[in-house]
Structure 1
């Protein structure tokens, strides 16, 4: 199935006026589907008809509190009301309602079934590509280099590919273009890596998992391993690498690190394998990694 994710070249930021017009049309259409007059919506939401008329015509800027009232009156989720994308097919809403009822293990099974039936063409032979995910300081670089050498395949660091594609360093991308631009470069580079290499070890950036579409693509096209450690071990290893910036405000940095790891843990946990490197030497961790992976993995890059 063709990949529906927009490429970097055709991405377009929606202007404020366009967004407000689309929001107003979404409210008007939702009201019509429910057979509600504007007066009914005003009554149920506690907002004035005049304000709703302005909103539906794309002229009214609106607070989150008011949007929540409108969403509640229309029996919509706030996310559905404010989404910045084209209207979803009604079938997708039915599928979402079904999935909301599943437990985490059932959701993983459902994802696997859908990916197998409707996933990307590259999903075949995905075990030849091994992607390492996790926060900085867990050991992705060290273990990735050793694994690539052991298997005789390329080690590809997505961060290096992004810098080459952008023609600038990572910090410059964030400074000049923002995180969204970085994530678009990241997705495009990952697609190129998958197209170019049937066998490789891929070192991902720590935040790749925060983009659900890119994470899904990674899971569909690569065998994934979460390289994990405690927040304290992450911090200690980063400092040992010579980056003392986190020590400038150690307490705040540790709080931020714990929060990031807590929020990303369910995303990292979608990897097929997890390797705990805490309190383990490099040799021990590498041995654990080899034992973790299927014995059939190996082979040279044939792209």
Structure 2
């Protein structure tokens, strides 16, 4: 006799292996989520999605323009809708925006449908990477390094909730990819 469908916990992913799940990279801007994510997708033979790119496609505006025209709150609402759509798809590698994981609903969705990997980079590595670019809306303020420092300290406890924590060091990105793959192979679903 078939199991009673009402007794099945549809959100129970405790028996799924990492190969059956989306790998969602989280962390602060400059941690290497997009660059490492592309290389990880290539190494694992999976599609790659960058949530910021997908938001820009959906909105027809750049992230900076969305922030400028509609504010951060509207950006975050759009970000959550895009992440829900992406996480409903087949397993892939997902680079999320630096603030995406801060939203409790988004974190819960990622816990349910993905394995989250915090790319943990130190402040100097982050600063070296982000100071080369001018498209970071949260850093378009006085004392951008101070803003980055504050963001790192405020967000660290939330990023630490990720399923896996992998250092993102200043060096070849393939080193970080290899560390992620090692961590995934050692990952055990929670009971």
Instruction: Give the TM bin, normalised by the shorter chain.
Output: 0.7 to 0.9
SS in 2 for 1:275: strand
SS in 1 for 2:185: coil
- Output the TM-score relative to the length of structure 2: 0.81
Compute the displacement of 1:122 (Å). 7.8
- Output the TM-score relative to the length of structure 1: 0.52
Q: Show CA shifts across 1:58-80 (max 9, x none).
A: xxxxxxxxxxxxxxxxxxxxxxx
Instruction: Find out whether 1:180 has 2:68 as its counterpart.
Output: no
Q: How does 1:55-134 map to 2 (within 5 A)?
A: 120=11, 125=16, 127=18, 128-134=21-27
What are structure 1's unaligned runs of at least 5 residues?
Answer: 1-116, 297-303
Q: Show CA shifts across 1:211-245 (max 9, x none).
A: 111111112211010001111110101234x4498
Instruction: Find out whether 1:273 has 2:157 as its counterpart.
Output: no
Compute the displacement of 1:189 (Å). 0.7
Instruction: Find out whether 1:262 has 2:153 as its counterpart.
Output: yes
User: Hey, what does 1:219 align to over in structure 2?
Assistant: 111
User: Hey, what does 1:194 align to over in structure 2?
Assistant: 87
User: Hey, what does 1:291 align to over in structure 2?
Assistant: 182
Q: Show CA shifts across 1:17-70 (max 9, x none).
A: xxxxxxxxxxxxxxxxxxxxxxxxxxxxxxxxxxxxxxxxxxxxxxxxxxxxxx
SS in 1 for 2:166: strand
**Count of matched residue positions in the alignment of Structure 1 and Structure 2:** 176
Compute the displacement of 1:266 (Å). 0.9
User: Hey, what does 1:156 align to over in structure 2?
Assistant: 49
The structure carrying a bigger strand percent of its residues is 2
| Structure 2 Cα separation of the partners of residues 122 and 288 of structure 1 | 23
User: Hey, what does 1:139 align to over in structure 2?
Assistant: 32
The structure carrying a bigger helix percent of its residues is 1
Compute the displacement of 1:295 (Å). 6.7
What are structure 2's unaligned runs of at least 5 residues?
Answer: 1-7
| Structure 2 Cα separation of the partners of residues 125 and 188 of structure 1 | 24
Cα RMSD (Å): 2.7
